[in-house]
């Protein structure tokens, strides 16, 4: 009898891990469960910077997520490390600045697994970054959810089609 393998981690990364990346993590967790992919994939999130380590997600992100049926409860901010990148199957940057930061942090052999989350959408949208809603209004938090839902659905479509 073989021990079951640990699900592959999809690591979502934004700046402080309190708005965009925990939102993406919550959406991915729900979508993975809905698609019956929990044995294959799990979601996690982190920030490029340690500004908010140990803090819960931003209250505005929590409200926007709850209004759409997602829960950010229990999530706490962490900072992405090289070990996190090495352990993850994919590291999904929420904007191009995060992508550049992660590629500077990681050794070159890990670069292929670091991608922009929006890069999974076909056809490719002109806007590749999920904008930071931190200094914006409630509509910006809803827009983050819209973009994350679209990109995560496309990501999971691609991953689910790969052989196990």
Question: For residue 5, what pLDDT band results from cuts at 50, 70 and 90?
Answer: confident
pTM for the predicted model, two decimal places: 0.95
Domain membership of residue 73 as a residue range: 8-161
* Residue 3, in any domain of the structure: no
CATH of the domain at 149: 3.40.50.2300
- What pLDDT, in 10s, does the model give residues 91-148? 999 999 999 999 999 999 999 999 999 999 989 888 899 999 999 999 999 999 999 9
37 domain residue, yes or no: yes
Looking at the chain, the whole-number percentage of residues with pLDDT higher than 70 is: 98
pLDDT over 70 at 4, yes or no: no
Active site residues: 14, 20, 132
**How many domains is the chain built from?**
1
Position 38 in a domain? yes
Side-by-side strand order, sheet with 8-14 = 41-47, 8-14, 90-93, 114-116
Q: Which residues lie below 8 Å from residue 6, measured CB to CB, with a gap of 6+?
A: none
The answer to whether residue 1 is domain-embedded is no
pLDDT number for residue 2: 44
């Amino acid at each position: 009898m073989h021990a079951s393998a640990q699900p592959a981690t999809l690591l979502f990364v934004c700046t402080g891990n309190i708005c965009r990346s925990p939102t993406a993590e919550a959406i991915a967790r729900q979508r993975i469960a809905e698609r019956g992919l929990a044995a294959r994939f799990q979601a996690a999130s982190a920030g490029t910077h340690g500004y908010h380590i140990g803090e819960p997600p931003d209250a505005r992100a929590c409200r926007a997520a709850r209004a759409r049926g997602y829960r950010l409860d229990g999530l706490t901010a962490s900072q992405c490390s090289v070990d996190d990148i090495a352990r993850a199957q994919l590291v999904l940057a929420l904007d191009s600045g995060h992508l550049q930061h992660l590629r500077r942090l990681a050794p070159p052999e890990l670069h292929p697994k670091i991608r922009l989350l929006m890069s999974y959408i076909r056809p490719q949208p002109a806007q590749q970054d999920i904008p930071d809603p931190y200094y914006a209004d409630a509509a910006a938090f809803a827009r983050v959810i819209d973009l994350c839902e679209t990109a995560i659905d496309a990501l999971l479509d691609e991953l689910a089609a790969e052989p196990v």
